[in-house]
Structure 1
Amino acid sequence: MKQARRLHRIFDLKREERFSVIGDGLEHLGAHVEQLMSSIEHLLREGQKSGAGALQAICVEESAKALILLDIARTHDQGMARKGCNYFYSHLPRLIYANVHASNPADFREIERYLTWLRPSHYLDGPNDVDWIWRNDLLRTRENALYVDYEETDDDYMWTGGDPDQFHVDMGAARLVLAMKHAGLLTARGAQATAAAWKGATFDSDTRWEFCRDKAWEVLKATLTSDTVPSEKLRSALRLIPEKWTFPLLSLELKEEPVSMDTLKERQDRYLSRQYGLDDYW
């Protein structure tokens, strides 16, 4: 019986065959992201913001899958690279990939700090930082863009989703992936150039983003042919890629971190006790 979700099989292939499969996947994803972006622009022109929001949610995850494939190519620790196959099929890791590449981390430590906010299943927020319990922001935004649901809140139940004024999907990762497509990185040649540029590369929490910028230029120079005539679209891509293509993320834990509701409620109670001096009576 034919089975889907078989990306792990690439590790059964010889290295050159693996790059060929990764390159095919990158080309498919690049074409898909480009088509989705075109459809999103059309829907926005027509004032169909809800439909555009649903496609945006899909588009950013497809963009993240291209970034994960490139990370598999540039990660030479095979055990670590295999994690990319798990992340390729999981919503939250894909959303974290998109979020990180839409931001501007100054160093690897900043990405590590992001994860303390991006991974928890639930968190406290509000005027006093503890007033309400919220679900994971990335997953909640994704679901609100795609679905209408009857949801429990701290105080009551309410219908959520389907209203584009209630959520925002950052398309920065999609723009980066489109730039990579224009620059020829979403190919087997691009994957090979990425692997070569990052071979033997080491970094730690203090490594600055300029390290990634220089590596991106190495990849671009190896991918672009000497007779390439840069169009305005390519010039724009060459500005964006070194600025936004950041560190490999496969060394990090990106899966959802379960947070107990009881733990959060205890934090709320402790805050209220301190706020109103109830600690004096225990």
Structure 2
Amino acid sequence: MSEKGTKITFGGRQARALCNMSHSARLDFIAEGLPIVLQSARGFWRAAETLKERPREAAVLAGFAEEESAKALILIDLVRCPKPKVGKRIGRIVKKTLYDHLSRMIYAKAQSWLPANVAQLQEYIDHERQGHYLEGGMSEYIVPNWSLYQRESTMYADIEVHEEGIPQWNDPNRWSDSTMMMRPMALDLVEALEALGLLTRSGLQATSDVWSSVDFVNDEGPVEALELTKQLAARLDSEGLVSECATEQHARLLYNHWQLPMYNMDFDLIHVPLEQLEAERDAAFWNEVGGY
């Protein structure tokens, strides 16, 4: 006989607790956590750098560093969200985006994109969240989401099945010769935000005050973002929050690579029907051969 009772929520993955905090308490808590998240990302990256003779293992750690950095950027975007809008967005952000591998990888990758506005940024994200897509010179192959596949196949030995239906083993060490490890831009960016004083409690307050004036949901883009970034930089400087270690490179990262706020973006994996992919493949084939 089964009995129903209160679900125990002790343990990790409890970022939903942010939903029940006041705005001020939430900023306090995020300010406490951001240095911890950054230190975690740095630790993974430093460990990756020591494994030059083990490129597969180094790539796994570099991926962890990138995803940890993305966590920091997600939390900072929560701070950038206009206070009247936080209530309807925070649940998705802290329950889904913050804990989802693909969402974090897209968040990190997006820091190098240059969209014209928020609507185009969502289009870029949509391209990255396709569950499967066509690949090959004539779009002849149906392949899984590359970011997820590369993450999993680099990390784990596993059994996988491709379109022909034949099971085969994935050997994660096969990625060793093709893995090129680069320092995650997301980590560079979070370090720049730290140097400029944004990760402090006062820095987060300034970020919230300045960025709350514009809700980035559709047509808003780099023009609005640049103006708010200038206002924030001036305030961080006037309040003495910029650290002595801040450099021109940190400022360039702030101005050139801090992406538009993504608190209203959809990062969920898009499941593409097999029939749709097959139809697109047929169309690509006939377009290539000219209908003959």
Q: TM-score range by the shorter chain?
A: 0.7 to 0.9
**Is 1:104 matched with 2:114?**
yes
Letter in 2 for 1:226: G
Indicate the residue corresponding to 2:141 in structure 1.
132
The 5 Å alignment of 1:76-115 reads: 76=82, 77=85, 78-85=87-94, 86-115=96-125
Letter in 2 for 1:165: D
Preserved CA contact (<8 Å) 2:196 2:243: no
- Specify the SS of the correspondent of 1:165: coil
Indicate the residue corresponding to 2:65 in structure 1.
59
Letter in 1 for 2:240: S
2: CA distance between counterparts of 1:106 and 1:173? 20
Indicate the residue corresponding to 1:69 in structure 2.
75
Do the aligned partners of residues 245 and 229 (structure 1) sit closer, same or farther apart at CA in structure 2, a change above 3 Å counting? closer
Which stretches in structure 2 are left out of the alignment for 5+ residues?
Answer: 1-7
Preserved CA contact (<8 Å) 1:107 1:209: yes
The 5 Å alignment of 1:1-282 reads: 2-44=10-52, 47-76=53-82, 77=85, 78-85=87-94, 86-128=96-138, 130-155=139-164, 157=168, 159-162=170-173, 163-167=175-179, 171-203=184-216, 205-224=218-237, 225-226=239-240, 230-231=244-245, 234-272=247-285
2: CA distance between counterparts of 1:123 and 1:191? 39
Letter in 1 for 2:11: Q
2: CA distance between counterparts of 1:158 and 1:105? 39
2: CA distance between counterparts of 1:267 and 1:185? 46
Do the aligned partners of residues 194 and 165 (structure 1) sit closer, same or farther apart at CA in structure 2, a change above 3 Å counting? farther
2: CA distance between counterparts of 1:39 and 1:83? 32
Which stretches in structure 1 are left out of the alignment for 5+ residues?
Answer: none
* CA positional deviation for 1:35: 1.9
Letter in 2 for 1:120: Q
Do the aligned partners of residues 100 and 3 (structure 1) sit closer, same or farther apart at CA in structure 2, a change above 3 Å counting? same
Aligned residues: 275
Structure 2-normalised TM-score?
0.83
Structure 1-normalised TM-score?
0.86
Do the aligned partners of residues 12 and 229 (structure 1) sit closer, same or farther apart at CA in structure 2, a change above 3 Å counting? closer
* CA positional deviation for 1:192: 1.4
Letter in 2 for 1:268: R
Preserved CA contact (<8 Å) 1:83 1:250: no
Do the aligned partners of residues 164 and 213 (structure 1) sit closer, same or farther apart at CA in structure 2, a change above 3 Å counting? farther
- Greater Cα offset, 6-15 or 132-141: 6-15
Preserved CA contact (<8 Å) 1:214 1:242: no
1: CA distance between counterparts of 2:241 and 2:27? 24
Letter in 1 for 2:71: K
Q: Over aligned residue pairs, what C-alpha RMSD do you find?
A: 2.6
1: CA distance between counterparts of 2:169 and 2:155? 17
